[in-house]
Amino acid sequence: MAPLTELSIDDLKALQAQLQTRYDEFSARGLKLDMTRGKPAPEQLDLANGLLSLPGAGDFTTASGVDCRNYGGIDGIPEARELFGAYMGVSPEEIILGGNASLTLMHDTVANAMQHTAWGKAPIKFLCPSPGYDRHFSICEHFGIEMVVVGMDEHGPDMDQVEQLVAGDDSIKGMWCVPKYSNPTGAVYSDAVVDRLASMPAAADFRIFWDNAYEAHTLEAAPAPLKNILQACKDVGNPERVLMFGSTSKISFAGMGVSMVAGSVKSMNGVRSNLKAQTIGPDKINQLRHVRFFKDIDGIHAHMQKHAEILRPKFEAVLEILERELGGQGIATWTRPSGGYFVSLDTLDQCAAQVIQMAGDAGVKLTAAGATFPYRKDPRDRNIRIAPSLPALEDIHTAMEGVAICVQLASVQKQLS
């Protein structure tokens, strides 16, 4: 199809009428489809059902003799720290395991810093590469931390901007990063970005929140390589700069996974001392069950290939419909991720909220407008996060057709106005 800008007014009006008819017909179907959140589909969860009968009766003791049914072992059981240490690229001494949500660990890390360090003494800021993950932004809002938007491309955050901001402002104490298959753009941070983050001049208590939620979540034969930021930080003498987070929420069960925080031994000492005021020990049976189920890091990667087989056709469907309906018209761009849970769609400026509203009215619920930016304010009102994991393949076809009609209709209306 020709770019919209090359169409005459009459052609645009004819196209508008055609699209309006399609939209009305679509709405009349009375659909109720939901593409709002990146949740695993039931078939993905089924892959880990074996966990529910583990550990077997009488199997509750670690190799070192710890009785997992009892209190204690605040860092997590040794075999689980070894398994998830390998997953995060750190040694067992550099990782602590938490409950089912890494978000809790991130929240508590910020909360503790606000309560017990200089962070809480004066107003502070976080850098927020955007579009980004809405719940990171919610943590900042919750603690009154000012969010500073920085741009993103397929290699990660705009490092010129980041370096300039951080070097000139000591009140910037943190930065959110989703370094692999970023939410929502799918970007994988390049080695150069990792090195610059590790070495840039910044406040001594500046911390990178390295939320590697999608470390193994590839749609291809193997996960993309990602430079080890803890090692990079150690190499340049900034070992405490990074705190890494992860979980098995989208590997095993989102409601029964294992979360993890990793960093230098000194950083882990800090995490542990806060944790000791919160709990006498984590759910070690769940950790043991995960070790028995996955066995080793190869077991995790083999399992993630089964997830990829379920997710791949869903992502392909989204991309195929976007290309077929929107390709060549100059009205939208979108990402083609090689992993993670999202496709990030950019409409023409000032169209995203309208598209989301129209799609919702026609029975397709999308992530709220602005959600991928701090304070829910997308400065160009153009970003839409598409989450294809949960709906059935057939529903994705239907929903995406509806979304594509809305994008075209909003674009034609904009062009006409």
CA neighbor of 139 nearest in space, from 169, 102, 88, 184 = 102
Cβ nearer to ligand PLP, comparing 106 with 406:
106
Q: Which of residues 351-410 bind ligand PLP (CB under 6 A)?
A: none
The one segment of 9-17, 18-26, 97-105, 368-376 that binds ligand PLP by CB under 6 A: 97-105
CB of 164 to ligand PLP, least distance (A): 25
Q: Which of 249, 329, 367, 389 contacts ligand PLP by CB under 6 A?
A: 249
E strands along 36-181, which residues?
95-97, 125-129, 146-150, 152-153, 156-157, 172-177
CB of 29 to ligand PLP, least distance (A): 29
C-alpha 147/C-alpha 153 separation (Å) is 19
CB of 178 to ligand PLP, least distance (A): 4
CA neighbor of 197 nearest in space, from 170, 235, 224, 223 = 235
E strands along 185-312, which residues?
207-211, 242-247, 259-262
CB of 57 to ligand PLP, least distance (A): 29
The one segment of 20-28, 99-107, 199-207, 288-296 that binds ligand PLP by CB under 6 A: 99-107
C-alpha 223/C-alpha 220 separation (Å) is 7
| Binding of ligand PLP by 286 (CB under 6 A) | no
Q: What Å distances lie between residue 324 and 33, 92, 250, CA to CA?
A: 21, 48, 30
Tokens of 108: 């508590």
Contact (CB, 8 A) for 56 and 45: no
Radius of gyration of the chain (CA): 23
Helix 284-294 with 297-326: angle, nearest 10 deg: 80
Total interface residues for ligand PLP by CB under 6 A: 13
Cβ nearer to ligand PLP, comparing 124 with 213:
213
Q: Which of residues 178-237 bind ligand PLP (CB under 6 A)?
A: 178, 183, 211, 213
| Binding of ligand PLP by 270 (CB under 6 A) | no
CA neighbor of 385 nearest in space, from 350, 345, 355 = 345
CB of 342 to ligand PLP, least distance (A): 8
The one segment of 100-108, 317-325, 355-363, 407-415 that binds ligand PLP by CB under 6 A: 100-108
Tokens of 357: 């509203």
Q: Which of 4, 33, 38, 396 contacts ligand PLP by CB under 6 A?
A: 38
Cβ nearer to ligand PLP, comparing 254 with 285:
254
Cβ nearer to ligand PLP, comparing 215 with 325:
215
CB of 249 to ligand PLP, least distance (A): 3
| Binding of ligand PLP by 94 (CB under 6 A) | no
What are the residues whose beta carbons fall under 8 Å from the beta carbon of 96, sequence distance 6 or more? 74, 75, 76, 81, 260, 261, 262, 268, 271, 272, 275
Q: Which stretches of the chain bind ligand PLP, using CB under 6 A?
A: 38, 101-103, 133, 178, 183, 211, 213, 247, 249, 254, 259
